[in-house]
Amino acid sequence: MSENTGVKSEIDFFSMLFFFLGRWQQVVLGTTFCTVLGLAYALLSKPVYQADAIVTSRDSQGGGGSGSSFLSQLGGLGGAMATQFGLMNTNLDKMEIILKSREMARRVIEKHDLMPRLYAKNWDAKNKKWKVKSAPSLKVAAEGLRKGILKVVVEPRKKILQISANTDDSTLSADIVTYYLEALNTKLQEDTRTDAEGNRQYLEKQLISTQDPLLRERIQNLMAVEIEKSMLMSTKAFDVLENPSIPLYRLKPKRGQIVIISFLLGIIISCMGIMVMEALAARKKS
């Protein structure tokens, strides 16, 4: 039984093979058509270049940085104050939220005048004016930047955050990542200084109303921590493990793969088309 089945399958295979070989012109025509379409798409598609950077927050490198480690030595009061005021360095989740925010996108565009570069086709570089009647909207540009160009990925296990930018201009991709790193550092410094100043003022009030010598000493230590936090954030709010650079190769389109896939699809579509036409012809005769 199995031998008959194997012989029958072999006969069916050769029958199909001779069936399509007898119509090789149609197969070649359909395959050529699909391949040419794929080649045209690969050549006409805009190239996309990706630049990226890898950063890590300072609290990822040792359980929290100098401020938090100092607080852990102060006992119950230090832990309570850390919980109340959030006396910790910036974590990756907060960095991700800031990077994806509309405020950050608008800040980057306005500070570095990116509108002409983001809408290069509509910008007359020679005369320094827009080719269209109305200039592109900053709100629309910010949405396109944060949702279409920028990509932020957090890897909790590795404790890193990757910032990527995909555009058709390799230099622009690298510049956008660089601008975002600068803006993120500035934003984190501003927030930390604001929080540290608010915490210090609160602690000063508590120091005035506290009479216990031990509590006064601990409050003074906490005030020193706040001052230390502000001083530490004057340089960098995070560490850059890999700086952005101008990409040498495009991310897409991958023209070779497109042509190969188009060729294979052409063969499949041609064979399926021949079978459908033969089935319709047989049905018409019957």
pLDDT in tens, the chain (286 residues): 555 555 455 556 667 777 777 778 888 888 888 888 888 887 777 888 999 999 998 765 544 444 444 444 444 444 444 444 443 445 888 899 999 999 999 999 999 999 999 998 899 888 888 988 888 899 999 999 999 999 999 998 889 999 999 999 999 999 999 999 999 998 988 888 888 888 888 888 888 888 888 888 888 888 888 777 766 665 677 889 999 998 877 877 777 888 888 888 888 888 888 888 878 877 887 7
Q: What is the DSSP letter of 146?
A: I
Q: What CATH number belongs to 49-242? A: 3.30.1890
Which residue bears the tokens 């508590």? 206
Residue 72 vs residues 69, 89, 274: alpha-carbon distances, Å: 5, 14, 76
Please report the sign of the dihedral spanned by the C-alpha atoms of residue 128, residue 130, residue 135, residue 138: negative
Partners of 242 in the β-ladder: 54
Query: β-pairing, 160-167 with 150-155?
Result: antiparallel
Strands 49-57 and 160-167: antiparallel
Side chain identity, residue 137: S
pLDDT value at position 2?
52
- For the chain, where do the domains classified as CATH 3.30.1890 start and end? 49-242
